[in-house]
Amino acid sequence: MVNETSSTMISCEECGLIVEIPPLRGGTKARCPRCNHLLCEHPRSPYQTTISLSIATLIMLVLSISFPFMSFSAQGVLQEIALLDAVTMLKVHENAALAVVLLLTVIILPALYLSCVLVLFLLMLGQGLYRQRKNRLKTAHILARLIFFIKPWIMVDVFLIGILVSLIKIAALADISMGSSFWAFCLYALLLVKSISSIDRNWLWSQLFELNKLTTVKPKIELRNISEGVVDCHMCHQLNRVSESQCIRCSSRLRLVEPLITIQKSSALLLTAMVFYIPANMYPIMYTSFLGASEPSTILGGVILLWEHGSYPIAIVIFVASVLIPLAKMIAMSWLLFSIGKKNSHFDSLRKLKLYRVTEFIGRWSMIDVFVVSVLVALVQLKGLMAIYPGPAAFSFAIVVIFTMLSAMAFDSKLLWRDRQHLEHSKIK
């Protein structure tokens, strides 16, 4: 086990500043001196904490899908569901694509993430990388890359909020009881958030780098711009010489960033989201059937109905998450893409970077309304009395959320600083 990280020279993930990070002790952090982005954090007791959290979270996940989740009763008719019934009912109502999205983001990807973290940290804790080093280290690199690829697509916390919104929506219509799996799911969501936050990307790659016993290759001190003979790794942000084919720290394949291609890719993904935003708001997101009469409901219509019934906080949450945030994010991303290449002061670049951070963070929360529909479709199926079915807008809205997230991921925030001729070399002390 490695107790301290060695001095590492990386490019700041968000502004591109070349920063040399000295060895860190437990509980200390390193931030970019230009944009204040968190570069690295050395956690206290990282191995034991992360392993314990991963095991506890996996146990809660198993309990979440093993028992009744909640029940819904009206006029003597009872409907009881398990967590996986939300997936099953979407498939039954010919919305398999949305069922796959729900299953992946709430069950499969979190389980895969936790399993990869558990295996990786057990390997590192036992220093098993020293024996049969080549194969074990390759496995560790694959696992590390996989967990950071999966991380943005885990939406258990968003689904939990969607459940709470669903309960408030139908609380006045019937009696709702929580099953034992519901409380397990709440713990599962909280533990998963804690587990994810316990892992620092740069710290993890530094530990693997030390275990590999490689000699750190640093660019010459006079190099000021990452385009001058060096390239930063897209995975761990280690600086490498252009002549290298793969990163010296994480073994990822190196690629030079082409600004025009980056802008085109992000713009294309954003345009796709804009196209699907129209049907997502025009068509019904769900249908409510009561005593044989079916009534369609759009996203905005649902907000208005909640407001008329006095559920002001929930109406505001749905309006902000499902209407305002996607629209604001598309406008913000369009402005950021349009502003690339323009001359910026340090203040202008920093302001744009903060806007990008906000848009990237809030994007996933727009999935709340999609998850609300998923829960209601599974829960409210009292045949002959009341039922809720998914509408065509549900899948369109999921596409909007996914493609706005992809657009933000494809966007390279370093381009916001590209007009600055020289990037200072800084060392955090």
Asked whether residue 332 carries a pLDDT value surpassing 80, the answer given is yes
Q: Is the dihedral of CA 238, 201, 35, 345 positive or negative?
A: positive
Cα–Cα distance between 28 and 194 in angstroms, integer? 18
Give me the pLDDT at residue 341, please: 67
- CATH class (in words) of the domain with range 259-419: mainly alpha
- The reported pTM is 0.84
Q: Say how far residue 408 (Cα) sits from the centre of its chain.
A: 11
Q: 332, 323 in Cβ contact below 8 A?
A: no
pLDDT at 308: 74
pLDDT-wise least confident of 171-185, 203-217, 293-307: 203-217
In the chain, ranges of CATH 1.20.140 domains:
259-419
pLDDT tens digits, one per residue of 170-208:
776 667 888 899 999 999 999 999 999 888 888 888 777
Least Cα distance to 10 among 210, 211, 226 occurs for 226
Instruction: Give pLDDT, residue 225.
Output: 43
In terms of pLDDT, which residue wins out, 65 or 25?
65
Contact between 73 and 174 (Cβ < 8 Å): yes
d(CA 138, CA 120): 11
Task: Calculate mean pLDDT across residues 1-8.
Answer: 51
Distance (Å) of CA 214 to CA 163, 245, 250, 340, 343: 48, 16, 11, 38, 40
pLDDT at 23 exceeding the cut of 90? no
Residue of higher predicted confidence among 94 and 152: 152
Report the percent of the chain where pLDDT is more than 90: 23
Separation CA 156–CA 196 (nearest Å): 12
Write the pLDDT tens digit of every residue in 360-389: 888 888 888 889 888 888 887 776 667 788
List of residues 6+ apart from 281 with CB closer than 8 A: 298, 299, 300, 323, 393
Q: Looking at the predicted structure, is the pLDDT value of residue 2 above 60?
A: no
Split at pLDDT 50, 70, 90, the class of 212 is low
Which helix H or strand E contains 124, and what residues bound it?
helix 109-125
Q: Which residue has the higher pLDDT, 279 or 168?
A: 279
Element of type H or E holding 61: helix 46-64
pLDDT over 50 (residue 5) = no
Q: What is the pLDDT of residue 292?
A: 62
Report pLDDT for 106: 95
The chain-wide mean pLDDT, for the chain, equals 80
Report which of 361, 287, 318, 307 is spatially closest to residue 93, judged by C-alpha positions.
287
Tell me the pLDDT tens digit for each residue of 42-78.
Answer: 777 778 889 999 999 999 999 999 999 888 776 666 7
